[in-house]
Amino acid sequence: EIVLTQSPATLSLSPGERATLSCRASQSVGTNLAWYQQKAGQAPRLLIGGASNRATGIPARFSGGGSGTDFSLTISSLEPEDFAVYYCHQHINWPLTFGGGTKVEIK
Amino acid sequence: EVQLLESGGGLVQPGGSLRLSCAASGFTFSSHPMNWVRQAPGKGLEWVSTIGESGSDTYYADSMKGRFTISRDNSKNTLSLQMNSLRAEDTAVYYCVRRLVLGSRWGTFDYWGQGAPVTVSS
């Protein structure tokens, strides 16, 4: 099983600041990694697929990078609606797995 | 517009059974692998099961094998999850999720339903 480790667990930032989230895989997943955003009481929403491709309708302030085992999600300038929990996910190996999540909270 | 609408959630006793359904619309259902992903209260996301486009290929997380059965009816655009021998640790919101197809490969999850809550308790 591929284990995805997200860091930090919590990120406390102010609106307008830059957020950088990390996801490390226990073995290579190539670029078969996605990022999701989940707000309280809502279903997850796809932000980034293929490690770096923004999903339809996702603002340009969200960017993804990396390949192999090390990945990042960057929010260039936090908007109030960006405070949420973010999950990475690998879809190349069974069982499909998710990281434990990073909560981006208002400082 | 892609829509996934789950139903069938509720309260069930340990050892009991429950069947979840997902009604899909707004896309060609038979062209996409479909999935169930769950989230226990206050916890992260956990993949449960995947079924291929035709229904002939199925995959399960180890803790669900032998207890859960995924199926689909492409004529009715519906996905189902039959859950037997339920345990307290199966308590979660269960999401119906579409999977992208990229040429001949399966991609990531792109659309999620709003979820069906399942509580296993006596």
Q: How far apart are CA A17 and CA A107, in angstroms?
A: 10
In chain A, which residues have their Cβ closer than 8 Å to the Cβ of B116?
none
Q: Which uninterrupted H or E stretch holds A33?
A: strand A33-38
Q: By the CB < 8 Å criterion, does B27 face chain A?
A: no
Determine, for residues A95 and B62 on separate chains, whether the beta-carbon distance falls below 8 Å. Answer: yes
How many contacts does A have with B, using Cβ atoms within 8 A?
54
Q: How far apart are CA B87 and CA B12, in angstroms?
A: 9
Residue B107: the pLDDT is 87
Q: How far is CA A102 from CA A15, A52, B39, B74, B116, in A?
A: 17, 18, 15, 37, 24
Q: By the CB < 8 Å criterion, does B88 face chain A?
A: no
What mean pLDDT is reported for chain A? 97
Q: How far apart are CA A101 and CA A97, in angstroms?
A: 12
* pLDDT, tens digit, 9 for 90 and up, residues A92-101: 999 999 999 9
The answer to whether the beta carbons of residues A83 and A102 sit under 8 Å apart is no
Cα three-residue angle B34-B36-B108, rounded to 5 degrees: 55
Judge whether residue A56 has pLDDT over 90: yes
Residue B87: the pLDDT is 97
Please confirm whether the linkage preceding A8 is cis (ω < 30° from 0): yes
Which amino acid would we find at residue B6? E
- Residue B47 confidence class, pLDDT cut points 50, 70, 90: very high
Residue B102: the pLDDT is 83
In chain A, which residues have their Cβ closer than 8 Å to the Cβ of B110?
46, 49, 55
The answer to whether the beta carbons of residues A106 and A12 sit under 8 Å apart is yes
| Spatial CB neighbours of A44, under 8 Å, sequence gap ≥ 6 | A36, A37, A38, A87, B45, B95, B109, B112
Q: How far is CA B95 from CA A16, B35, B37, in A?
A: 32, 8, 5
Which amino acid would we find at residue B40? A
The answer to whether the beta carbons of residues A96 and A1 sit under 8 Å apart is no
Determine, for residues B45 and A49 on separate chains, whether the beta-carbon distance falls below 8 Å. Answer: no
From the list B95, B108, B113, the residue facing A34 with the nearest CB is: B108
Which of B39, B31, B30, B28 lies closest to B6, judged by CA? B39
Determine, for residues B108 and A98 on separate chains, whether the beta-carbon distance falls below 8 Å. Answer: no
* pLDDT, tens digit, 9 for 90 and up, residues B59-109: 999 999 999 999 999 999 999 999 999 999 999 999 999 999 988 788 899
